[in-house]
Amino acid sequence: MDINENELKALVSLLDDTDKEVKEHVRDRIISLGSQIIPFLEQTWENSFNPDIQKEIEDLVHELQFSLLKERLTEWKQSSEQDLLTGLWIINTYQYPDLDFDQLNATMHQIYFEVWTSFKNDAPPYEKIRTINSVLFNDLKFAANTKNFHSPGNSMLSNVLDSKRGNPISLCAVYLLVARKLGLPIYGVNLPNLFVLTYKSDNLTVYINAFNKGLIFSRQDIHNYLEHLKLEPKDEFFEPCENEVIMKRTLRNLIYAFDKIGELDKKQEVEELMDILDR
């Protein structure tokens, strides 16, 4: 950091300056120092008794955290692997900036371990799916969040893991992360109004609805579903999708959730995140 603590203190003390230009200059200078100064700002907030300066610090910390999130998301978009857990953690830090990736990873690993202890590698595919269903939905009690379907928390993986409640895409994400760790050919499928999974191997293709306790269904069921919605069948409604599609759908749910509860600033910020993935 090319600035010492006393200089930083002096800068922060100018945040409630009545001269708008001075204030803007100070803000720009602090922002230019990057996310590494967040701990200092948070400490200053705790030691300050000036509500105006506290409010300015809160805004600055949010701006720096959001900037860091956008950097991480841009890196994720440009990475060759586009790891799903990393991507969902990045989205998660929008609401929980201090969430540690290793912490999220450890929780997911614990869930995988619970499934793995009941899992038989030589079992037929249907048996493998039923084992995952039994552990996730019977033992661990994961379920559809029908009460608060449009809550922003449904798009935050840490929330879903804590509450064991989620929307179709977040429950599918948990299922998918476990299945991939088990080496199963399970992928996301981006249906209209519903996100599901497919078990797709050379000799078997079936679909799984994680929002309905892992209900197994067929290609014909998807045709019937599309017919009910009066939609033409498209390949993408039957085939595996990329992790980026899962990320975009998660962000879309978040945009809708913030819109529904009237948090329009947050809605706008999540739209900025969506722009990064759309580039």
Domain boundary among 23, 52, 78: 78
In this structure, are 53 and 184 located in the same domain?
Answer: no
In this structure, are 269 and 243 located in the same domain?
Answer: yes
> Residue 98 is which amino acid?
D
In this structure, are 74 and 97 located in the same domain?
Answer: no
Task: For residue 168, give Cα distances in angstroms to 26, 52, 76, 122, 205.
Answer: 45, 42, 23, 29, 20
Radius of gyration of the chain (CA): 22
In this structure, are 128 and 180 located in the same domain?
Answer: yes
Under 8 Å between Cβ of 15 and 26: yes
In this structure, are 38 and 131 located in the same domain?
Answer: no
> Strand, helix or coil at 234?
coil
In this structure, are 224 and 101 located in the same domain?
Answer: yes
The answer for 136, left when phi > 0, alpha when psi is -120 to 50, beta otherwise, is alpha
**Quick one: pLDDT at residue 2?**
63
In this structure, are 241 and 104 located in the same domain?
Answer: yes
**Quick one: pLDDT at residue 168?**
96
In this structure, are 229 and 269 located in the same domain?
Answer: yes
In this structure, are 244 and 115 located in the same domain?
Answer: yes
**Quick one: pLDDT at residue 149?**
82
Q: Which residues of the chain are modeled with pLDDT < 70? A: 1-4, 14, 16-19
Angle at 74 (CA atoms; ends 238, 101), nearest 5 degrees: 85
Task: State the residue range of the domain holding 90.
Answer: 84-278
In this structure, are 54 and 114 located in the same domain?
Answer: no
Domain boundary among 59, 78, 97: 78
In this structure, are 131 and 215 located in the same domain?
Answer: yes
> Computed from CA positions of residues 154, 160, 164, 170, in that sequence, does the dihedral angle turn out positive or negative?
positive
**Quick one: pLDDT at residue 17?**
63
In degrees to the nearest 10, what's the CA dihedral of 109, 188, 208, 250?
A: 80
Total number of domains constituting the chain? 2
Residue 239: φ, ψ to 5°:
-105, 155
**Quick one: pLDDT at residue 191?**
96
What is the rounded distance in angstroms from the CA atom of residue 227 to the CA atom of residue 237?
A: 12
Let me know how long the chain is. 279
Domain boundary among 31, 47, 78: 78
In this structure, are 48 and 167 located in the same domain?
Answer: no
